[in-house]
Structure 1
């Protein structure tokens, strides 16, 4: 492994040329879409308890940003919360505009309380569903919303039948506790904090109740024979979800704002960070049908945690059931979903029909669902060809490990001697003290040494050996790891191939890996250990799906390829919040190309700057109140 520091030297480009460079580098927009996001706190009542939550414009979920491909977007963020805030525009490629990517201490300093900042970016060459969220640990549970990008030629140019209506469906979770406290406890290895409920579009649904009164659920009113485009987003912190609608089927047409070859299924499987666009035809007998979102989790010997399901309603809007609302539903136990909707044989009755859900531990369903995705080949929606030449190969293991709280050596069998971390190639990511994009752009040396992300793990072993999941002598040999600010540099235009390999060290979870600023060709995936000799022959080089978030299967692997053609500093991380907080992340730096059109322009004039007088530690940049600072726990 190589350690090195950012290059020192000097020239500071005058910011007066920013607008000239911006106009040269970024295509002209067809319109300007403008929003003001006021981030503040408000009390919300669920489960008989009033909870203080941080929201945008008093909404949960937050506002939907609707644009046409080619539009320019300006979001004025006014921070009236007690926390430092940044907003990430998840999946927006930010071509030549890394400054607007919204990752504290990677691309920017956060927006401090009582301060504001305007994010400006163009949405070019993308259509479909993306989303925005706070890139602050745990706060994205309540700070999130949809981004809908429509074709420039209108809905008639969709490569599928034009829907009668388009509906965002955001799956999330509800926390009855302070989210700052959740993040702090996770970093200190207290893992007894879990969401109290799952949500659909911010509503808990009738599997939950307050003193016997059912919680309000999301209701989608439909008309017989009409087609609905559901724009499904998983904004939850911890769980991949199964989604079903009783009596109906989905036709999947896009994922992560990339069209896919349509295929029909009765179940959607969606991990945190992913989006799925699916058509649903209201072709069932008029009545009420439950829409159920069920979290999945790895089976034993993995640790089992509370995973609450939720449900909303698809309700046919006709004379028989107009105005029935949610009042006719019968309460059930929180996690038990069964078919038949309470035994009413008639779908036109008042008791809704419920879908038969898969076993919560049937994680192979996720593998099959994601394996079915292939890119659509359509003359009006060309997909870039898969690059054949590969310049860099990386093999990245994903797992858990431990570092000593103080010093390099400790007794890991003793409580509080070591702290659990998440790793990539046995290194856990640690935030720098100066934003990496600023250091990179101005060639300013930073105090912290950077570690080059290793191209392979330090040792080979049976990565998916389930005997490594329980704590024991075998696992202890593989557990020691290190912390560092991990960076990997790529020349402009390099073709990078990565194999993400899940491991069984202390857990066998799947891992939704998100790359900022780029889409990835998903070449292949498999269960067990990657074997280059046989698995590379399975690569789909004809029509692999393009994704910004790829799901590494439970105890399995996925191979991706991308072109590093967007200069800047880009975060790559797991989208499970506990894995991100524990360090399953790295930074990819794409260097400038040879021309102005392939080089990163300077930052906006009003770009947030860090107050070096405050001398804040990295974690204090994430979550800070005026009275309390959250200190970093040092490892090795």
Structure 2
């Protein structure tokens, strides 16, 4: 039996970018340190509205335990995590554990009407899952409406044998860095406006660990910024998470370089760079050595904009401060060294940054999966975002003009009666792709046999291109075989596939006006959401569900729902 280790959190005191065209095609060590015993880590998340004041405005914000960001969950590989969610907010919600495999545990993936019914106001729900076979930086967030803009936090999984087993020098400290947005709006109302085709909703600023920084002010009084204190000569592991709804970011620290060592809780070949590029949903682990002259240096986060002729939208940079202990701390803002940032339209820098990520060969988990011959290939299904409103029709509803995103000309529409996983498990229908006429809204389901090796090419080209697309697959990691600019050509581009040490990720960024080829092994039975992590693309229907069938043994099959799972369901 696992020992109980309580990390229970207590209740503390107290769009969007303009719509663009996006078409995406899917082709279907040894150590002397004794290991720590596996434990059970338990948290209580109380979701409620608290008043917060920034830029002279006090607004109610829906958060967990009174915090923005929410509590960090820290565990060791192999531990069991139990989180009791108490919903004291006025909204339905679920919590998704982004990047956690949930092997044979799809019931706890936290996607409304895909894996569970939402947790209603004044309701509660307990999630329980293991973090076996994973280590690194993941995160958690709400998966209802736009609420993840304020309901999110880090999930850090440390190695079973301790930091000495890292495939890089042991850092002096490990620091979560969460990039987010500050919304002076009711996020649930923003979601409702999107559903009605009103897309002129924008955040008011960007944040680092919940702080806006001194690029923002209230009547001339600068907002507090995040401060990272460092000691000269020490090495720090920054666990960077992009929790923003709408923006990919450039991250720089004046006078310092990063060595990227992991992405999406998978080790990568160490890569030294002066800028990190990170899209919504992604995590990057990077070492920073405090080797500059003692002083203060800005940590800057700048959103990336799609180049003109795409419509330009309000997107805000932010910054915190890295300061050396023992240095001057009461100097003016003019004394803080600022980095030279890339141009906001430099999308090619994002392309090369992500292209330079490769898997760390001797530490890749199940790396042979990338070398297995695909059993499903070249089955095409397109994702598309039109440049102008289209006539769409929901089931039994009149046609209306609305901008939508779609896959196979179908804009994803949530199940309305029974969650897809429940329908699949009890064989209540949903045996394939359910859709109506072109540009209809329906529930898109694609089935795979257990053990299928699936090749996918996400293609992002259309009349009018927009942002890059961070495509997130629940319940699985994806091997990034190759990426390119322009249209994918199997005759020439397949020869570029990296089958030796591809990066392994749960969120793959499809480059602006380009493509990304991935491979995954459908070895986790259940119903798994796949979607763009730009919230406005998801809200418009850029999503589908991949159902992985049971295997031939109990250990390769989905077990029944946990006890009490159906309690309180309508």
CA contact (8 A) 2:50 2:63 kept: yes
CA contact (8 A) 2:256 2:292 kept: yes
CA contact (8 A) 2:77 2:160 kept: yes
SS of the residue corresponding to residue 561 of structure 2 reads coil
Q: Do residues 444 (structure 1) and 423 (structure 2) align? A: no
The equivalent position to 2:477 in structure 1, one of 519, 522, 525, is 519
Q: Which residue of 1 aligns with 2:452?
A: 494
CA distance in 2, matches of 1:211, 1:230: 33
CA distance in 1, matches of 2:37, 2:465: 46
Q: Do residues 218 (structure 1) and 237 (structure 2) align? A: no
Q: Deviations over 1:546-586 (max 9, x none)?
A: 00000000111000000000000000000000000100000
CA distance in 1, matches of 2:380, 2:345: 28
Query: Rg: which structure is higher?
Result: 1
SS of the residue corresponding to residue 207 of structure 1 reads coil
> What is the deviation of 1:509?
2.0
Q: Cα gap change, 1:353/1:539 in structure 2, threshold over 3 Å: closer, same or farther?
A: same
Q: Deviations over 1:459-518 (max 9, x none)?
A: xxxxxxxxxxxxxxxxxxxxx722210000000000000000012244432100000000
CA distance in 2, matches of 1:492, 1:244: 43
> What is the deviation of 1:321?
1.9
The equivalent position to 1:509 in structure 2, one of 433, 457, 467, is 467
CA distance in 1, matches of 2:90, 2:259: 43
Q: Which residue of 2 aligns with 1:321?
A: 328
> What is the deviation of 1:607?
1.1
The equivalent position to 2:42 in structure 1, one of 10, 22, 34, is 34
Q: Which residue of 2 aligns with 1:18?
A: none
The equivalent position to 1:109 in structure 2, one of 114, 117, 120, is 117
CA contact (8 A) 2:110 2:143 kept: yes
Q: Deviations over 1:131-168 (max 9, x none)?
A: 00000121001100000000000000000000000000
> What is the deviation of 1:453?
8.5
CA distance in 1, matches of 2:280, 2:87: 25
Q: Which residue of 2 aligns with 1:270?
A: 278
CA distance in 2, matches of 1:137, 1:507: 25
Q: Do residues 308 (structure 1) and 308 (structure 2) align? A: no
> What is the deviation of 1:406?
5.9
Please give the residue correspondences for 1:367-386 in structure 2 after superposition, counting only pairs within 5 Å.
Answer: 367-378=351-362, 383-386=367-370
SS of the residue corresponding to residue 51 of structure 1 reads strand
The equivalent position to 2:161 in structure 1, one of 153, 157, 181, is 153
> What is the deviation of 1:418?
0.9
SS of the residue corresponding to residue 403 of structure 2 reads strand
Q: Cα gap change, 1:450/1:43 in structure 2, threshold over 3 Å: closer, same or farther?
A: farther
CA contact (8 A) 1:104 1:435 kept: yes
CA distance in 1, matches of 2:525, 2:257: 42
Please give the residue correspondences for 1:200-219 in structure 2 after superposition, counting only pairs within 5 Å.
Answer: 200-219=208-227
Normalising by structure 2, report the TM-score. 0.90
CA contact (8 A) 1:453 1:586 kept: no
> What is the deviation of 1:424?
2.0
Unpaired segments ≥5 residues, structure 1: 1-27, 331-341, 343-350, 459-479, 613-636
The equivalent position to 2:241 in structure 1, one of 230, 233, 243, is 233
CA contact (8 A) 2:435 2:441 kept: no
The equivalent position to 1:249 in structure 2, one of 257, 260, 277, is 257
Q: Do residues 128 (structure 1) and 111 (structure 2) align? A: no
Please give the residue correspondences for 1:289-304 in structure 2 after superposition, counting only pairs within 5 Å.
Answer: 289-304=297-312
CA contact (8 A) 1:252 1:264 kept: yes
Q: Do residues 424 (structure 1) and 407 (structure 2) align? A: yes
CA contact (8 A) 2:461 2:486 kept: no
Q: Cα gap change, 1:452/1:528 in structure 2, threshold over 3 Å: closer, same or farther?
A: farther
> What is the deviation of 1:182?
0.8
Q: Deviations over 1:376-402 (max 9, x none)?
A: 022697744413311112334332135
CA distance in 1, matches of 2:482, 2:380: 14
The equivalent position to 1:571 in structure 2, one of 529, 536, 555, is 529
Q: Which residue of 2 aligns with 1:556?
A: 514
Q: Cα gap change, 1:120/1:563 in structure 2, threshold over 3 Å: closer, same or farther?
A: same
Q: Do residues 585 (structure 1) and 552 (structure 2) align? A: no
Normalising by structure 1, report the TM-score. 0.81
Q: Which residue of 1 aligns with 2:499?
A: 541
CA distance in 1, matches of 2:249, 2:305: 9
CA contact (8 A) 2:146 2:187 kept: yes
Q: Cα gap change, 1:158/1:591 in structure 2, threshold over 3 Å: closer, same or farther?
A: same
Q: Which residue of 2 aligns with 1:404?
A: 391
CA distance in 2, matches of 1:365, 1:293: 15
CA distance in 1, matches of 2:235, 2:366: 25
Q: Which residue of 2 aligns with 1:389?
A: 373
CA contact (8 A) 1:117 1:606 kept: no
CA distance in 1, matches of 2:478, 2:546: 14
Unpaired segments ≥5 residues, structure 2: 1-35
CA distance in 1, matches of 2:412, 2:449: 22
Q: Deviations over 1:256-314 (max 9, x none)?
A: 00000001000000000000000000000000000000000110111110110000000
Q: Cα gap change, 1:154/1:125 in structure 2, threshold over 3 Å: closer, same or farther?
A: same
SS of the residue corresponding to residue 192 of structure 1 reads coil
Q: Do residues 49 (structure 1) and 57 (structure 2) align? A: yes
